[in-house]
């Protein structure tokens, strides 16, 4: 059975570019039938082939949501958001974040997002994973072992996914989602795509532009995923960036009056990590019977430094509570690293997509050695990068459907935004992606947090550049810098 699934997965990713399009169009694209859902949004779906190599052999429905343009008389078209993850529900995310788009964009575009195949309302990959068990696992191997404590859990998860995830499972990858995105564009009635890809969404947008360069109107890629380096190098890059972000975060708290962590937040953090490593805190209860560990601390830390504007205060309070022996808030933040904005876990889809997209899957022992190496170099949060970016793919039950080097030859200008203090997608990756895409220009946001869209949405300089690009197709100069205060640099 596994052999036949593997063959099907390979067939799904072999055809690309122009050769893809006739087969995909064997299944007609119907306009979206919108209906009111909630909060002033409209919901619908788009039918896509499960397997683009055999488009009439089965379909799935991709859930779509929109917020209509506030200036309908001057509407330009639709702007499609992918908020990242991979695995985040675009439907849930847009309902939370539609209001942070620059005002001219909200006026002139219908804001649209979708649940990518394998997520939430679009044939979700649900393997029954106990998320708390994974975030609670220690971030480095025990003495005398080369295996992360989480490694057996990943083996079990992969087997469960292969057993229960259904016929869509082998076809959940970014190349197929990019093809789905083109059907969404057509179902929306837009001749060309206007798109904002955040974090993992930069990978989706890059692949779309590479497959369909003539259909690009305007694409912003914010918080780039590394386009070239293997998973282990990505973990090294992220470990360094996350450690640096945490150091700055703790120093900022030290300079505040009444920091919840006392006069030396860095010492507080180090002592708490040592304590949780020696003796985890009691399980939060309420159906969660996993003790709160250093793994929770590092997952919660990555969530907090990634989006300090939303989670910074909550994180400081959680650290202070953990110092008093109460770990429930720390567990909540740790789970949030792999959850949709309204709560449900994206964990199974997250690993399904990562392991499909990446060509190389380091072994479980190599991943354990990497975690130990990163913990030694970046002792506060570095070891967790191996669990976060690499560990799930060591024994994944399907072969990869790797993404080729993207160039987007012939595409309209693409704007790549990189944040200098991004702990999740390091600034270096934005530089690499802007270099890889032939028509890309790089805009730099000086500041902290993961992406402009989520952490820097109050930055007037970036907002104005993005609005002018989306609305009037004014392409910013390559190398443009916006300071943390929101002025041109």
Same domain, 324 and 461: no
Does residue 360 form part of some domain? yes
Residues 6 or more apart whose Cβ sits within 8 Å of residue 182: 24, 193, 208, 211, 212, 215
Same domain, 173 and 286: no
Same domain, 219 and 296: no
Does residue 292 form part of some domain? yes
Same domain, 185 and 149: no
Same domain, 243 and 323: yes
Does residue 446 form part of some domain? yes
Same domain, 268 and 206: no
The dihedral over CA atoms of 122, 127, 133, 135, expressed in degrees to the nearest 10, equals: -40
Point out the domain boundary residue: 350, 371, 393.
Answer: 393
**What tokens were used for 277?**
């490593």
Q: How far apart are CA 356 and CA 371, in angstroms?
A: 22
Beta strand spans in 135-251 (E): 193-198, 216-222
Is residue 56 within 8 Å of residue 26, measured between CB atoms? yes
Does residue 425 form part of some domain? yes
Does residue 386 form part of some domain? yes
Which position has the token pair 């003796």?
279
Q: What per-residue confidence (pLDDT) applies to 38?
A: 85
Same domain, 281 and 335: yes
Does residue 299 form part of some domain? yes
**What tokens were used for 58?**
């089965």
Same domain, 114 and 154: no
Same domain, 302 and 427: no
Task: Please give the residue range of the domain that contains residue 248.
Answer: 131-164+236-393
**Residue 423: CATH number of its domain:** 3.40.50.1820
Same domain, 425 and 364: no
Nearest to 458 by CA among 358, 310, 325: 310
**Structural domain total, the chain:** 2
Same domain, 359 and 417: no
Residue 368 C-beta-side C-alpha neighbours within 13 Å: 18
**pLDDT digit string (tens) for the chain, length 489 residues:** 222 223 233 223 333 333 334 344 579 999 999 999 988 999 999 999 999 999 988 999 999 999 999 999 999 999 999 999 999 999 999 999 999 999 999 999 999 999 999 999 999 999 999 999 999 999 999 999 999 999 999 999 999 999 998 899 999 999 999 999 999 999 999 999 999 999 999 999 999 999 999 999 999 999 999 998 999 999 999 999 999 999 999 999 999 999 999 999 999 999 999 999 999 999 999 999 999 999 999 999 999 999 999 999 999 999 999 999 999 999 999 999 999 999 999 999 999 999 999 999 999 999 999 999 999 999 999 999 999 999 999 999 999 999 989 999 999 999 999 999 999 999 999 999 999 999 999 999 999 999 999 999 999 999 999 999 999 999 999 999 999 999 998
Q: What is the pTM of this model?
A: 0.94
The dihedral over CA atoms of 335, 341, 343, 347, expressed in degrees to the nearest 10, equals: -50
Same domain, 244 and 369: yes
């Amino acid at each position: 059975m596994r052999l036949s699934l593997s063959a099907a997965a390979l067939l799904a990713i072999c055809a690309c570019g122009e050769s893809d399009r006739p087969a995909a169009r064997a299944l007609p694209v119907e306009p979206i039938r919108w209906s009111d859902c909630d909060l002033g949004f409209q919901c619908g779906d788009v039918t896509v082939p499960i397997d683009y190599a055999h488009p009439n052999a089965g379909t799935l429905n991709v859930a779509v949501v929109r917020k209509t343009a506030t200036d309908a008389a001057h509407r330009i078209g639709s702007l499609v958001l992918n908020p990242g993850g991979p695995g985040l529900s675009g439907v849930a995310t847009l309902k939370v974040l539609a209001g942070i788009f620059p005002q001219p964009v909200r006026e002139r575009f219908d804001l649209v997002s979708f649940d990518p195949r394998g997520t939430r309302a679009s044939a979700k990959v649900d393997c029954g994973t106990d998320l708390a068990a994974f975030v609670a696992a220690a971030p480095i191997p025990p003495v005398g072992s080369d295996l992360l404590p989480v490694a057996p859990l990943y083996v079990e998860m992969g087997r469960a996914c292969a057993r229960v995830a259904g016929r869509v499972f082998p076809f959940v990858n970014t190349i197929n989602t990019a093809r789905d995105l083109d059907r969404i564009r057509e179902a929306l009635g837009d001749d060309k795509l206007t798109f904002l890809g955040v974090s993992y969404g930069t990978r989706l947008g890059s692949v779309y532009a590479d497959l369909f360069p003539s259909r690009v109107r305007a694409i912003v890629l914010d918080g780039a995923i590394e386009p070239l380096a293997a998973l282990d190098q990505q973990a090294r890059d992220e470990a360094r960036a996350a450690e640096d972000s945490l150091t700055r975060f703790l120093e900022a708290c030290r300079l505040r009056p009444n920091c919840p962590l006392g006069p030396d937040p860095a010492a507080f953090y180090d002592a708490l990590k040592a304590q949780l490593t020696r003796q985890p805190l009691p399980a939060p209860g309420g159906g969660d019977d996993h003790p709160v560990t250093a793994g929770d601390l590092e997952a919660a830390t990555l969530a907090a430094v990634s989006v300090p504007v939303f989670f910074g205060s909550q994180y400081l309070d959680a650290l202070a509570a953990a110092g008093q022996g109460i770990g429930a808030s720390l567990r909540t933040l740790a789970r949030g690293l792999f959850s949709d904005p309204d709560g449900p876990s994206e964990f199974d889809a997250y690993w399904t997509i990562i392991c499909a997209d990446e060509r190389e899957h380091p072994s479980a022992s190599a991943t354990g050695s990497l975690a130990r190496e990163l913990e030694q170099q970046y002792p506060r949060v570095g070891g967790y990068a191996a669990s976060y970016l690499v560990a799930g793919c060591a024994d994944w039950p399907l072969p990869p459907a790797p993404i080729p080097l993207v160039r987007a030859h012939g595409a309209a200008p693409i704007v790549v935004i990189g944040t200098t203090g991004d702990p999740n997608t390091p600034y270096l990756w934005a530089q690499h992606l802007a270099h890889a895409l032939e028509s890309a220009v790089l805009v730099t946001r000086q500041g902290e947090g993961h992406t402009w869209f989520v952490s820097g949405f109050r930055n007037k300089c970036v907002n104005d550049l993005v609005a002018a690009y989306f609305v009037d197709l004014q392409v910013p100069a390559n190398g443009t810098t916006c300071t943390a205060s929101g002025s041109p640099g």
